[in-house]
Amino acid sequence: MNLRRDVFQAIADPTRRAILLLVASQSMTAGVIASNFDTARPTVSKHLQILTECELLEQEQNGREIYYHINAKKMKEVADFIEPFRTMWDDRFNKLETIMKNYKSIT
């Protein structure tokens, strides 16, 4: 199965959000990340795989170890995910204001 992962589906999970917070402080290996959770190691690996597939995490080979670090650019996109929704309402309300200002001048 090679689904293109949805980034928002990825951050909907509390464990994955916790992983992102953890890795945000410094790059770490899968083992170190897993040691911070009570969850079984394979489950953590699965979470890491999902976060990597949707590009929130990046892997970096360092000697024999693979380190995970945050992809800041992708994280910013997620932080801004509310923006299109806000813009949609802002456009509507700007329009409302314009229409009612004209209405005011007519009456």
Nearer to other proteins, 19 or 34 (CB): 19
Write down the least CB distance from residue 17 to other proteins, Å.
Answer: 8
Alpha-carbon distance of 106 to 17, in angstroms, equals 53
The region of 20-28, 30-38, 68-76, 89-97 touching other proteins under the rule CB under 8 A is 89-97
Q: Where are the alpha helices (DSSP H) in the chain?
A: 7-12, 14-25, 30-35, 41-53, 72-79, 83-106
The region of 20-28, 43-51, 58-66, 78-86 touching other proteins under the rule CB under 8 A is 78-86
Q: Which residues contact 11 (CB under 8 A, 6 or more apart)?
A: 17, 20, 56, 78
Burial class, 62, CB count within 10 angstroms (exposed 0-12 / middle 13-18 / buried 19+) = exposed
x/- mask, other proteins, residues 31-70, rule CB under 8 A, reads ----------------------------------------
- Rule CB under 8 A: choose which of 38, 101, 105, 106 binds other proteins: 101
Q: Decide if residue 21 touches other proteins (CB under 8 A).
A: no
Task: Write out the DSSP string of 49-68.
Answer: HHHHHTTSEEEEEETTEEEE
Provide the binding-site residues for other proteins, judged by CB under 8 A: 8, 12, 81-82, 84-97, 99-101, 103-104
